[in-house]
Amino acid sequence: MIDTIAIIANSAIERMTLLNADASYLLLEEGRKTEALEISTHCGGGAVNCAVAFARLGLDCSALIKLGQDRRAKQLIACLEAEGISPRWAIRDARAPTGSSVLVSSHDRNAAVFTFRGANTLLTADDLPNGAFDVDLVHIANLSNQAAHCFPVIIEKAMSAGARVSANPGIRQLHGHGDAFLASLPSLHILSLNRREADEVVSLLDPSLAAGDPALDFSEHQPPPSLALRGLRHESRRMSVSAFCQALMARGVEHVVLTDGREGAFAATDGRLFYCAAEEAHVAGTAGAGDAFVATFAAFVADGSSPDQALKAAAINAASVLGHVDTQTGLLRHADLEARLASKKQTPNVMEWTL
C-alpha cells in the first residue's frame, strides 16, 4: 500500500465518542475544506511493514506481494530495495492499480483509514512459486478478497519446504474464510490476533468451551488490563483469555499472540501464558504498531528467543513505531532493540501463569 497521511489539529475536526461502545468517530463537514497540519506519503501495507521490520532486525528476507503497473508500484519496489529486501517475488498486474490508503489522524492519533486494496486482491495460487517458500520462516499478512483463497495454499507450500509459519489474518479474512482458517491451525507455529480479530475467532470455536476458568492474578499490575477482565466475545459467546489460548493450542497452534493496543499483549505456548504491558510512548500515529509487534515477536521466536523476551522486544518496537506518523520510520534496527532490551529502565515487565 501507499499511505497518504493527513494530520488534523484537534480544533479543526470534531470527535464523537460513544459511552456504551468501544468506538469514537471523527466528524468531517461535507463540502468544507479542512486545514491539515501536515500531509505526507509513505510506503505501507502489512506485508511490506513486516518485511521492513524483519530486515532491520537483521533477517535476510523478501516480500511476495502483488502490485499494479504504476508509479505506486515503483515507489514500493524502491522502498524494498532501500531496506535490502529482495523484490524478486513482487508481481506486477495490469488489471488493477497498486493498493493505497488515506489516513485521517487527529485527537488520539488513532487514524481513521480509507483503504483501496487494488492489486492486493488479485493474488492467486499461480502467483506462488515454490522457490519463494524455501526459507526458515514464512509470515502471512492480512489477505484481501480473492487473495484470501491463497491462505491454505501458502501454508501448504511453506510446510512442504520445511518453513515455520507465522500468520496475522485480518477480520474480513476470518469472517469470510473461517473454515480454511480452522483447518490451517495445526500448521501454524505463530498465530497473531488483535482483540477484534480474536473476537471473530470466538465465533469459529467450539461453543461448549467454558469461559469461567479461574481469573488471572494481576496483583503486580494494578488495575488488570481490560482484556483480562473482558475476555474475548462474539455476540452472546464469551471466552476468557486463557480458555481462548488453550483452545487454539489444543488445535495445534504453537504460539498464540493476542494484542490489545495500549492495554498490552498476551502470548501463550507450551502450557504457559505470558502478559506484557505496553511500553509507554508518545503517540504520533498508531498505524503499523501491530505489524511491528507481530513481526518482532515472530523474528525473535524464530531465532530461538524465549516467549517473554520476544514479547518484550515486540512491545519496545511497537512503541517506537507509535512515535511516528507512518508505519515504518520507527522500526528499530537489531542493535538498537538489543540495547533497549539490555536496559532495565526501558524494558517492560512480563508476567507468567501456568495454564
Q: pLDDT per residue over 164-200, tens digit each?
A: 999 999 999 999 999 999 999 999 999 999 999 999 9
| Grid cell of 266 as nine digits | 498476551
Length of the chain as a residue count: 355
Query: What is the residue type of 139?
Result: H
* Residue 230 falls inside a structural domain: yes
Q: Say if residues 8 and 36 touch (Cβ distance below 8 Å).
A: yes
| Grid cell of 174 as nine digits | 476470518
N-to-C CA span, the chain: 39
Is residue 253 predicted with pLDDT exceeding 80? yes
DSSP class of 178: H
pLDDT of residue 98: 98
* Residue 196 falls inside a structural domain: yes
What is each CA distance from 221 to 158, 228, 310, 351, in whole angstroms? 39, 11, 20, 9
Closest CA to 140 of 100, 94, 187: 187
d(CA 207, CA 288): 33
Domain count, the chain: 1
Is residue 21 predicted with pLDDT exceeding 80? no
* Residue 337 falls inside a structural domain: yes
Q: What angle do CA 290, 67, 158 make, to 5 degrees?
A: 65
CB proximity list for 9: less than 8 A, separation 6 or greater: 35, 37, 106
* Residue 2 falls inside a structural domain: no
| Grid cell of 75 as nine digits | 515507489
Q: Which of the residue ranges 32-36, 53-57, 256-260, 332-336 would you say has the lowest mean pLDDT?
A: 32-36
Print the domain residue range for 185: 46-95+120-354
Is residue 208 predicted with pLDDT exceeding 80? no
| Residues in a beta bridge with 112 | 104
SS (H, E, C) 154-165: HHHHHHHCCCEE
* Residue 308 falls inside a structural domain: yes
How does pLDDT run across 107-129, given as a tens digit for each residue?
A: 888 889 999 999 999 999 999 99
Q: Strands, DSSP E only, in 106-261?
A: 112-116, 137-140, 164-167, 190-194, 232-234, 237-239, 255-259
Say how far residue 209 (Cα) sits from the centre of its chain.
26
Query: What is the residue type of 343?
Result: S
pLDDT of residue 256: 98
pLDDT of residue 214: 59
More confident: 127 or 349: 127
* Residue 20 falls inside a structural domain: no
Top mean-pLDDT range of 13-17, 223-227, 326-330:
326-330
Residue whose C-alpha cell is 469459529: 204
d(CA 29, CA 52): 37
| Grid cell of 126 as nine digits | 499461480
Quick one: CA dihedral 243, 270, 318, 348, positive or negative? Answer: positive
Report DSSP letters for 231-254, one per residue. Answer: -EEETTEEE-HHHHHHHHHHTT-S
| Grid cell of 272 as nine digits | 504457559
Q: Say if residues 323 and 281 touch (Cβ distance below 8 Å).
A: yes
Average pLDDT over residues 345-349: 73
State if pTM tops 0.85.
Answer: yes
More confident: 64 or 225: 64
Share of the chain above pLDDT 70, in %: 96
* Residue 214 falls inside a structural domain: yes
pLDDT of residue 259: 97
| Residues in a beta bridge with 237 | 234
* Residue 110 falls inside a structural domain: no
284-302 as b/e, with b when 16 or more CB fall inside 10 Å? bbbbbbbbbbbbbbbbbbb
CATH of the domain at 149: 3.40.1190.20
